[in-house]
Amino acid sequence: MSTKVPHTRILIGLVAGATLGCTLNALFVEPGPPVKTPDWLTWIINNITEPFGRVFLNLLIMTVIPLVFSSLAVGVAKLGDVSKLGRMGARTFGYFLITSATAAVIGLTLVNLVKPGAHLSEDTVAQLKEAYGGTAEEKSKPAEFGVQTFVNMVPRNPFQAAAETNMLGIIVFALLIGVGLNYIPNERAASLVPVLEAIGDLMVFIIGVAMRLAPYGVFCLIFTNTAQFGFGMLLSLGMYVLVVVIGLGIQLVIVFPILLKVMARANLWEFFDKTKSVMLTAFSTSSSSATLPTSIQTAEEELGIPKSVAGFVLPLGATMNMNGTALFEGVTVLFLAQVAGIDLSLSKQMIVVALSVITAIGAAGVPGGSIPLLAMVLLTVGVSPDLLFLILGVDRFLDMLRTSVNVAGDLTAVMYVNRVEGAGLNKPSSQATPSSDLVDCSDLQRSI
């Protein structure tokens, strides 16, 4: 069964649902307070579009726990013995964390300044809060940053943590499992890792099934809400897209050039000229793993990076260094909180930054794979994941942009690591045989 996402059909579903919903809202819904919706439209919403839309969302959200657990556990297990990674590993991981956290902070700063989700009428916000404001409260206790946060990170019962959607506890448990797999006897670890990989593959399959229903699910969800709340909802969505695009642009044309100049001491024009084909590949495929062979070939042949450095940094970057995804998740969480009329305190926003970086590492390398992880972050800070319907129609376009930023971050990382390791820029090798070097990266590609 093919799990290819019908992105054009999703966009058609979004436009059709929004157009029909806004039209019916303008013709038949009397503005409030209180808002008066005709009985026949209420019946259609309550018995057709709203139930089907929730089934679609439930298919995505049901994958959250197993996907996060399996992705993070396998990802850590694939790294090998952490103590043996040495200086290059420490510098690489440090660079990944710093750049991803920087991207998330940029996104949160922009969304706090522009407030794309706050441009709705008071009546609309009240209706949204009534419809979605309590959902997250029922599923997860809103997180506050403090001593208790660290206590909750280590659950007494991981199964209870899963049932209560204590995602910080699930993440720590998954990380410990991944580390432990590197220290138990190889024959036992070898039997468990394929099971975890299979769980991840199954969750990706379920996501694919859900995304095949996405055109109809998005139509129903956007119709349900525009029919009730009108055109103001779409205006906020456009501002949200603009904030994400500006944030990704800042990371790409300001942050990365500064890092390249200061930390890698590279020629900016030469770097971007030689890597433009990689960026285009990332944009068109929306997949860091699919772009990895091109990234390695370009790094070795065009940038003169030694095989030992490129073969270590770039596969890890394709798995762990998700600057664009971290920024996207941070912006989306705050945007949906604003739409629902929920004010996230500074402590909750700190948690959003941390979780955006961590969950970006565990994001599945398939279109729509970040949606379940977004649901996890929303639950953790007390925002209903049901609001994710708002961004599904534009996610494909944003996915293309953030993947390009992700891959650009990988290439800046390999430039930095190459310089600090003292290798310098080697002359491009005309005898390079990238295809033979890519065989060892297959496991890491599979992990994303």
For 282-297, give one letter per residue: b (16+ CB within 10 A) or e. Answer: bbebbbbbbbbbbbbb
Confidence of residue 252 (pLDDT cuts 50, 70, 90): very high
CATH number listed for the domain at residues 7-447: 1.10.3860
How many Cα atoms within 13 Å fall on the side-chain side of residue 252?
20
CA pair distance 441, 366, nearest whole angstrom:
18
Give one DSSP letter per residue of 147-206, joined into a string. HHHHHHTS-S-HHHHHHTT-HHHHHHHHHHHHHHTTTS-HHHHHHHHHHHHHHHHHHHHH
- State if pTM tops 0.85: no
Sign of torsion, CA 128 132 375 5?
negative
Alpha carbon of residue 83 to chain centroid = 29
Instruction: Please compute the mean of the pLDDT values over residues 129-151 and round it to a whole number.
Output: 54
What is residue 7's predicted lDDT score, i.e. its pLDDT? 61
Residue 446 has pLDDT above 50, yes or no: no
Residue 245 has pLDDT above 90, yes or no: yes
Torsion of CA 113, 118, 122, 123, to 10 degrees: 180
Domain ranges of the chain: 7-447
Beta bridge partners of residue 36, listed in sequence order: 30
What is residue 238's predicted lDDT score, i.e. its pLDDT? 86
pLDDT averaged over the chain? Answer: 77
3-state secondary structure of 30: strand
Cβ(27)–Cβ(236) below 8 Å? no
Instruction: Please compute the mean of the pLDDT values over residues 29-38 and round it to a whole number.
Output: 72
Out of 247-256, 386-395, 404-413, which region has the weakest mean confidence (pLDDT)? Answer: 386-395
Other CB atoms within a 10 A radius of the CB of residue 82 amount to 14
Helix 323-339 × helix 395-420 angle, to 10°: 140
Instruction: Please compute the mean of the pLDDT values over residues 41-51 and round it to a whole number.
Output: 89
**List of E strands, 280-436:** none
Confidence of residue 32 (pLDDT cuts 50, 70, 90): low
CA distance from start to end of the chain: 21
Instruction: Please compute the mean of the pLDDT values over residues 46-56 and round it to a whole number.
Output: 87
Helix 276-285 × helix 288-301 angle, to 10°: 170
Residue 347 has pLDDT above 80, yes or no: yes
Other CB atoms within a 10 A radius of the CB of residue 201 amount to 13
